[in-house]
Amino acid sequence: MSTDPRSLPHHRPRLLVLVLLGGTAGTSVRHATAEVVPVWHDVPVGTLAVNLVGAFLLGVLLEALVLRGADVGQRRDVRLLLGTGFLGGLTTYSTFALESQRLLDGGPAGVGLAYAVGTVVAGLLLAAAGVASARRWRP
């Protein structure tokens, strides 16, 4: 027995619109951050900032939603709008990878390596801190 594809969540236009709206806003904030936050000693601080803030906020958001119940209805809508959409648009793995490669190729290896490894480690720690924060704030 097969499932009707139209019943799958990713085939529902309303849910796709939530991701689109959130992604548009998140991407706009990321672009504005990159324009406003200066590069410091060749390190793209804007990309670093959005990725680290995004990791923390995604940890908070997803844990808070899990603690409140199943991923259905309004919780799913919030996850798609803010998690997949806004925070997915805010953060950027591809730009991080490209900037890391450029730092490794074009400058002191220590700077590129510190940026690449530091971003990943700090992102993991901040995501964990976000999860812990959501657990602490649990209603």
SS (H, E, C) 21-49: HHHHHHHHHHHHHHHHCCCECCECHHHHH
Q: Is the pTM of this model over 0.75?
A: yes
DSSP 73: H
- At residue 40, what are phi and psi to the nearest 5 degrees? -125, 115
Average pLDDT of the segment spanning 68-82: 96
What pLDDT is stored for residue 12 in this prediction?
84
Average pLDDT of the segment spanning 88-104: 95
Please determine, for residue 19, whether its predicted confidence score (pLDDT) is greater than 70: yes
What pLDDT is stored for residue 41 in this prediction?
86
Please determine, for residue 129, whether its predicted confidence score (pLDDT) is greater than 90: yes
Please determine, for residue 1, whether its predicted confidence score (pLDDT) is greater than 90: no
Please determine, for residue 52, whether its predicted confidence score (pLDDT) is greater than 60: yes
Average pLDDT of the segment spanning 90-110: 91
Burial class (CB in 10 A: 0-12, 13-18, 19+), 18: buried
